[in-house]
A and B are shown apart, each in its own frame.
Chain A
Amino acid sequence: MAEFSWLSRSPLEHALVVGAHGARDIEPGISLTEIRNFDLIQVMARRGKAAELANATKARFGMAAPDLPKAVSASDATLIWSGPDQFLVLSKGGKQTMDILSQAFSQSASLSDQSHARALISVSGTKARAMLAKLSSIDLHPMAFPIDAAAATSIDHTSVNLWRGNDRGDGQAVFNLLVFATFAESLWHTMLDAAAEYGVDIRLSEELG
């Protein structure tokens, strides 16, 4: 009987090379970080169950899920609006799993595990907005897209969830992107191409921002 290993392999495993990319003679204007080890559960309210789901959400996270395009942070999860009657629960791997949430929302919502269906990429740096302007049609001006703003939108004709997290320590804005796993490598290359002229610092993280 063979010994099996079940290595979890990120859809960016092949493409992501930690370190510098693009223009080298300048301070990197873009920081690109892939975040691994997360759980992502799609929660869709059942018919007429908005109030019940809201109660269950409050009971579980101590806060309501956003009713408009926002991403709000609870102590160990981020609730990301993803459309009418639905939101995503993003958490560090093992914290808010399908099994746990199925119990919490069994009467009020339909759940789908998307933990393996997306790659999570965080974009920051002085040129983050300039780079994202090449990829996204969303207005990311600080007034138009403040901290916690979220958008279900498209990059390269591919659906993404985009939201603004807390600013970095140096005050730079942080934009998080959930992209489809099977598109991730292709989008990663597109992002690198868009970012190359500003200088890129590529990292990996096991921690949600």
Chain B
Amino acid sequence: MRIVCPFCGERELGEFTYLGDAKPVRPAANASEDEVFDYVYLRDNVAGETSEHWYHAGGCRAWLKITRNTLTHEISSVEPAAGVGAAKVGA
């Protein structure tokens, strides 16, 4: 598999580390235990397009949000995580 890093270009799978589902959002500090429990443990088992966190560990060290089809492995989009490129915030 190859992933097109938005910064480095197309790279081989071995440079990337998979974390998991990018859909759950970390609840706010005042969230209930149930909400946090769901964030930590509750995952869909999707046959089709999923959104995933990947880390370009062997490259530019950017965390990426990748939309991938679990049936075909086709990657339809790769986006940097919110905190990447923060230098340009407000520009």
Chain A-chain B contacts (Cβ-Cβ < 8 Å), number: 63
Decide if B14 touches A157 in the complex (CB within 8 Å). yes
B57, B60, B61, B87: the one contacting A47 at CB < 8 Å is: B87
Which residues does chain B contribute within 8 Å of A53, judged by CB atoms?
87
Decide if B14 touches A154 in the complex (CB within 8 Å). yes
Q: Which of A138-153 contact B (CB under 8 A)?
A: 151-153
Interface size on B, residues (CB 8 A): 22
Proximity string of chain A (136-176) to chain B, C-beta cutoff 8 Å, 1 when within and 0 when not: 01000000000000011110010100000000000000000
Which residues does chain B contribute within 8 Å of A137, judged by CB atoms?
11-12, 14-15
A38: min CB distance to chain B, Å: 22
One of A80-88, A98-106, A182-190, A200-208 at the interface: A80-88
Decide if B11 touches A84 in the complex (CB within 8 Å). no
Cα A69 to Cα B60 in complex, Å, equals: 10
> Could you list which residues of chain A lie within 8 angstroms of chain B, going by C-beta atoms?
45-51, 53, 68-69, 82-85, 137, 151-154, 157, 159
